[in-house]
Chains A and B, each alone.
Chain A
Amino acid sequence: MPNDPNAATPYRLSALTENGAPIRLTMIGVAILAVVACFAFVAGWLSPSRLTQARMIDAFEEVNGVWPGFRRNHAKGVCIAGYFDSNGDGVRLSKAVVFQPGKVPVIGRFSLAGGQPDVSDGPAAVRAMGLSFRPPDGEEWRMAMIDIPVFVVKDPESFYQQLLASRPDPATGKPDPAKMRGFVTKHPETARALEIVKASPFSSGFANASYNALNAFRFVNAAGASTPVRWSMAAVDPFEPEPPAQSAAQDKNYLFDAVIARIGRAPVLWRLVVTSGEAGDPTDDATIPWPSNRRHIDVGTLTIHHIESEAPGNCRDVNFDPLVLPSWIEPSDDPLLSARSAAYSTSFTRRAGEEKEPSAVQIPGSGKGA
């Protein structure tokens, strides 16, 4: 009986005038505010100094500027394709399908470290190889490797601080060396890693460089045994050191042009070498090399026979996230892995919504890639 004044409905407005109503309303308000405050805290809105994936990518944009459509790091690159021919020796360490004997199609990308897509190739530029193994069962294995033997920072916070220290000085347009020195002084692990990097010379090009997946992972075999591993793509082309003075007059794409010409002549090969760690080898610090007497297992050969400019649908639109792993390959406790995955994802999301510019690296005579 809706009009009966005695009908007890708990929702009548007159309840708001009862004694105690203000207290009850206040308690409801406090509860809602508490939930909203907790949400804001978890989101990082209350802690501007907390490092989030968005702030990590903001720092890249601050250092390099915003280049719409391009990756926020490793912006300059070119797409490659080929296959991985597994020799079956990896099966002892991991049951992953890619290690069964046989061929798996691979696409990938060569790039230079740094967030500027029109940067000139140079002797000190760190080179990278991103790969995506695509076995027929659909279980992808992605990796992003660089041609230095150890990484120079050990955790996301140090990476961020190093990035900020490399911010160009507004007065000179160049990074302030004093700031970089200050960072290295505070981070002895970076000082040690830089010594190791300096002691191992760069090769003369992309094709004869070896690329290291610096972070540790875990391989799990059919018996369930989990082994800490690091791996490298070891160049088959003979190593030649980078000539000391690549003259300034040189073509700004000389490294990319050389690898385009090299792949045009014949396929380029790398051996996938897995280093099997032992108890006590650090898996959570990519600045520390493992002892050189660890077992190295050659598990197969990567053949790259095709190269093309970045274009819709090819490697341009792939996020080489190191945590895209098949079953039987697992992340280690390295904090950089989840940070890389998170930051790459933010970079990918931002560039996905932007107009695309053609890459600075074009294949001569192909007329493609715009």
Chain B
Amino acid sequence: MAQHLQFPIISRMLHWTMAVMVLAMLFIGIGMVASLGLSLAGLDP
């Protein structure tokens, strides 16, 4: 039976949280510079 090697749970959570946040940052950024309103990122006044 092959032993299953994995990073500790804390590292995996950090990794995937970072992944989601990096993507969110890219989307919010491109959304803001490609729109004439502020609503995309929920920044409506």
Binding site for B on A (CB under 8 A): 6, 8-10, 35, 38-39, 42-44, 51-54, 56, 156, 330-333, 335, 338-339, 342-343
Q: Contacts A8-B5, A10-B4, A43-B30; is A331 near B36 (CB within 8 Å)? A: no
- What are 11 A-B residue pairs whose CB atoms fall within 8 Å in the complex? A6-B2, A8-B4, A10-B4, A10-B5, A39-B30, A53-B33, A54-B34, A156-B36, A330-B45, A339-B36, A339-B37
Residues in chain A near residue B38, CB distance under 8 A:
338
CA distance A330 to B45 in the complex (A): 8
Verify B37–A335 contact, CB threshold 8 A.
yes
The residue of chain A having its C-beta at the shortest distance from the C-beta of B37 within the complex is A338
Least CB distance from B33 to A in Å reads 7
Verify A42–B34 contact, CB threshold 8 A.
yes
Least CB distance from A177 to B in Å reads 28
The 7 closest A-B pairs by CB, nearest first: A8-B2, A339-B36, A331-B45, A44-B34, A43-B30, A156-B36, A42-B31
With an 8 Å Cβ cutoff, the count of chain B residues facing the other chain is 17
Q: Mark B26-45, 1 if CB is under 8 A from A, else 0.
A: 11001101111110100001
Residues in chain B near residue A156, CB distance under 8 A:
36
CA distance A338 to B35 in the complex (A): 9
Least CB distance from B37 to A in Å reads 5
Q: CB of B9 within 8 A of chain A? A: no
Partner pick for B35 among A6, A9, A38, A52, CB 8 A cutoff: A52
Q: CB of B3 within 8 A of chain A? A: yes
Least CB distance from B40 to A in Å reads 8
The residue of chain B having its C-beta at the shortest distance from the C-beta of A52 within the complex is B34
Main secondary structure of the interface of B (DSSP, over half): loop
Least CB distance from B25 to A in Å reads 12
Verify A9–B5 contact, CB threshold 8 A.
yes
Least CB distance from B3 to A in Å reads 5
Least CB distance from B22 to A in Å reads 11
Residues in chain B near residue A339, CB distance under 8 A:
36-37
CA distance A331 to B37 in the complex (A): 12
Residues in chain B near residue A52, CB distance under 8 A:
33-36
The residue of chain B having its C-beta at the shortest distance from the C-beta of A335 within the complex is B37
Verify B45–A38 contact, CB threshold 8 A.
no
Q: CB of B23 within 8 A of chain A? A: yes
Residues in chain A near residue B26, CB distance under 8 A:
39
Least CB distance from B31 to A in Å reads 5
Residues in chain A near residue B23, CB distance under 8 A:
35
Identify which of B3, B26, B27, B36 gathers the most chain A CB atoms within 10 Å of its CB: B36
Least CB distance from A15 to B in Å reads 11
The residue of chain B having its C-beta at the shortest distance from the C-beta of A53 within the complex is B36
CA distance A332 to B38 in the complex (A): 12
Verify A39–B2 contact, CB threshold 8 A.
no
Least CB distance from B2 to A in Å reads 3
CA distance A250 to B2 in the complex (A): 92
CA distance A38 to B2 in the complex (A): 39
A42-B31, A52-B34, A338-B36 known, 15 other contacts, Cβ within 8 Å:
A6-B2, A10-B5, A38-B27, A39-B26, A42-B27, A42-B40, A43-B30, A43-B34, A51-B36, A52-B36, A53-B35, A54-B34, A56-B36, A331-B45, A338-B38
Residues in chain A near residue B40, CB distance under 8 A:
42
